[in-house]
Amino acid sequence: MQEQILILDFGSQFTQLIARRLREMNVYCEIHPFNKIPQLTPDIKGVILSGSPHSVRQENPLNPSLENIKGKLPLLGICYGAQLLAHFYGGEVGKSNSREYGRANLSFVEDNNPLFKGISNESQVWMSHADTILKVPENYNIIASTHDVKVAGFAVTGEQTWGIQFHPEVYHSTEGAALLQNFVKGICGCKGTWTSDSFIDTTVAELKQKLGNDKVVLGLSMNQKLLRMLNG
C-alpha cells in the first residue's frame, strides 16, 4: 500500500504547488475538495489544508468536519487552513489592517519545534491574505512570527496539529521546502520512495487484479505505458 499525504483543497491558486513540492520529495499525495474527504485509510500518513480566496468570517464559510483528522493524524493548515484551525476551535480571526501580501521575514522561530527544525530566524516567507489570526485557542502555542504578523505559526498542545499563515509551497519562501519536508518526512514519517514509474506499476497490478481478463481502453495520452501493460 503506497503511503500518501492527503491535501484538502479550499480553492487556493497554490494548491497544485503543494502537491508538486511533495512529489519532488518523492512523496505521493492526492488533492481532494475540502467537502469531499475520502475514506481515511491506513496509507494516509498526514493531511494538509490549503489556502483559499475565501474568508472564515464570511457567511457560510468553508468549514468541513475534521473530527476524524484533527488530533488523530498529523495535520498542517496553510493560510486559510491555519485560520480555520484557529477560528473554529476557540480562537479569533479578523480583517487585517492592510492586505498582507508579498515577502516577509520571520522575526521569531521556535526552532525546537519539529515543524521548524532547521528553519532560520529572518527566513523569508510569502504572505497572501486579507484576514489575520488575532487570538489562538488556549491550547495553541505561537511558534513563529514576522515583524507584522504575530501568529505566523502555531502548534496545538497534545496534538500533531500545526498552522502557518504563510505559503511554504511558493519559491519566495526560501526555506519552505525544508518546512514541508519536516512535516511530511519528519512528522508524518513518509519515507520518500515514491516515483511516477512505481505508481504506474502499482496501479497496473491493482487494475489487473480487479479486471481479470477484460480489455481496457484508456483516453489518457500521458499513460500510454499503462495502457500497453494492461492490454498485454
**Residues labelled as active-site residues:** 79, 167, 169
Q: What share of the chain is helix, strand, coil (3-state, %, to 5)?
A: 25, 30, 45
DSSP state of 226: H
Partners of 48 in beta bridges: 7, 76
Longest dimension (CA), the chain: 64
Q: Is 67 helix (H, G, I), strand (E, B) or coil?
A: coil
Q: Which residues fall within 8 angstroms of residue 149, CB to CB, at 6 or more apart? A: 100, 104, 127, 132, 165
CA 219 to chain centre: 30
Query: Do 187 and 27 meet the contact criterion of CB atoms below 8 Å apart?
Result: no
Burial of 223 (0-12, 13-18, 19+ CB in 10 A): middle
CB atoms within 10 A of CB 143: 21
